[in-house]
Amino acid sequence: MTKFFQENQPDGVPPLELTGERTLPDVPEENYWYRRHLAVYEWITDRVEGKRVVDLACGEGYGTGLMATKAKSVVGVEANPETFEHARLRYTGDNIRFERTLVEMFDEEVDVAVFLQTIEHVEDAGAILEKIKSNLAPGGVAYISTPNVLTLAPPGKDRSDNPFHIYEYRPDEYLELCLDHFPNVEMYGLFHARVLRAHEVAIKYGWDTVHAKLHITKPFYDRFTPAIKSKDFALKTTDLNGSLDLLAVCRV
């Protein structure tokens, strides 16, 4: 089985291996998933200027580092020792720090809590949401995302084959879960845009058959996948059942 590691890391920063548990930048084969997650972080970054932010289960730290360009301060919380050490070394600055701890153990008042693509990994989602709410200052907001099982699972299946996911949510049940713990929830869906939308349409009209017959599948996607940008995704509030991921904006 082929192993993939991050490429071209700064001096003194150990590259991380791609395991499927979390997405990584600097792995060309992973670029679709990285850009899909980065698009949401960029959208949030535009909304955190001057705020105290916590990035819960921050993973490699790329989102924490991005939000630090606008926020007053950002704390990246990560329990995995290897991933924490990588993030701590790679993303530095006066307004950014990392804590190696569990999400449930973080106890600090913030204006914004970010918890992306992780709630599907936890046993007691309600307890996590209550913990996040307890850390928010008055008027605070939490950005919490998860994959949409309606588009993630293969046709005819109730869930995906991701072994790291404990529960995968439909849009209606995800909204209900968030409303059980926050009085004000706005739900967004992430969709393909630009190049990825054109690719989606091409597949609908038989592109998969064409590239297979021409024997160009590998060379095409070896170029196409690394070229994907975060702008090739867009957040909308309509047609949530057809979305790729669900982003709940939860206010106290």
Task: Kindly list the structural domains of the chain, giving each domain's residue range(s) and its CATH number in brackets, ordered by start.
Answer: 28-192+233-251 (3.40.50.150)
132-154 pLDDT per residue, tens: 999 999 999 999 999 999 999 99
* HEC letters along 6-35: CCCCCCCCCCCECCCCCCCCCCHHHHHHHH
Question: Are the beta carbons of 171 and 239 closer than 8 angstroms?
Answer: no
Which pLDDT value is given to residue 29? 95
Mean pLDDT across the chain, nearest whole number?
97
Instruction: Report strand pairing: 110-115 vs 184-192.
Output: unpaired
pLDDT of residue 182: 98
Q: Which tens digits make up the pLDDT trace of 171-181? A: 999 999 999 99
The pLDDT tens digits of the residues spanning 240-251 come to 999 999 999 999
Q: What percent of the chain has pLDDT over 70?
A: 100
3-state secondary structure 213-227: HCCCHHHHHHHHHHH
pLDDT of residue 1: 73
Radius of gyration of the chain (CA): 18
Q: pLDDT tens across 93-115, in order? A: 999 999 999 999 999 999 999 99
Q: Is 95 exposed, middle or buried (0-12, 13-18, 19+ CB in 10 A)?
A: middle
If DSSP codes are grouped into helix, strand and coil, which group holds residue 124? coil
**Is 127 within 8 Å of 154 (Cβ atoms)?**
no
Instruction: Report pTM.
Output: 0.96
- In the beta sheet, which residues pair with residue 96? 74
Q: Return d(Cα 220, Cα 210) in angstroms, integer.
A: 12
| pLDDT confidence tier of residue 155, bands split at 50, 70 and 90 | confident
